[in-house]
Amino acid sequence: MDNATRYHFSDFTLSEYDLLIKKAKEDYIFRSFHDFGKDERFILWRHDVDFSMHAARNLAQIEHQNGVKSTFFILPHSEYYNLFEKEITDLVKEIIALGHEIGLHFDSHYYGINNEKDLNKYLLQEKRWLEEIFKIDIKVFSFHVTTPFTMTCEAWTYAGLINTYASYFKENVEYCSDSHGRWRFKRLKELLAEASAPCLHILTHPEWWQQEPMSPWQKIDRCVSLRAEKNREFYKAALVKLNTPNIDW
């Protein structure tokens, strides 16, 4: 069996994503992490935006067209996009304008956190950053690349933010993830077709969802290459605007 078959490359297209959203709507109510009824057949659909805000906007548009809302967790310490760059800021604002919620994707590695005091301190700091930039209330967070310590953090809230890794979600809501560009636990198409779970917690990473089937590495390589090319063109355009030569060997 080749990797395209083994890892279901054809699942991760925008057209398939649209079908998954439509199927989910048939059996579940889309809810947010701070607004769901325990007696409902709800689905919590979450995006951890690790690599591409452009890809996140694409999924936000598909969901908006289908009349559903989800939560996009954005990463202040991403090495692949800069929230303070105007284009990226505008993309987040577009996602908000489509009716979606923004959450904090929190990187504990950046601070070397190994205790709850520091966790609360830095969560609150980053919460304030996002609220100031985007003029919204941040109510929920997810951990970026969990550690042995953060996996023990199962309280409902930290720093006043709902924790997507809280024990309630782990124990009561069936979980499905596309981490690393492959399905974790169950294939989402099959999970939704069965519709046997009373409630679901779905994690997707927008960078995996593209127009055509590709390998996970191809998607990341293209993401990085396009970013580099854009930076080159930005520099060249700035030189033209300043009427300054582009000096090379």
What pLDDT digit, counting tens, does each position of 32-86 carry?
999 999 999 999 999 999 999 999 999 999 999 999 999 999 999 999 999 999 9
The fold adopted by the segment(s) 3-215 is TIM Barrel (3.20.20)
Angle subtended by helix axes 14-27 and 53-65, to nearest 10: 50
Q: Domain locations in the chain?
A: 3-215
Max intra-chain CA distance, the chain: 68
Q: Show the DSSP H helices in the chain as ranges.
A: 3-6, 14-27, 53-65, 86-97, 116-134, 167-172, 188-194, 216-241
Task: Please tell me the distance from the alpha carbon of residue 129 to that of residue 99, in angstroms, as a whole number.
Answer: 21
Query: Token pair of 163, please?
Result: 């924790």
Residues whose CB falls within 8 Å of the CB of residue 249, separated by 6 or more in sequence, listed in order = none
Can you give the pTM of this predicted structure?
Answer: 0.95
Residues of the chain with confidence (pLDDT) below 50: none
Task: Please tell me the distance from the alpha carbon of residue 208 to that of residue 14, in angstroms, as a whole number.
Answer: 10
Query: Which pLDDT score is estimated for 71?
Result: 98
Query: Which pLDDT score is estimated for 185?
Result: 87
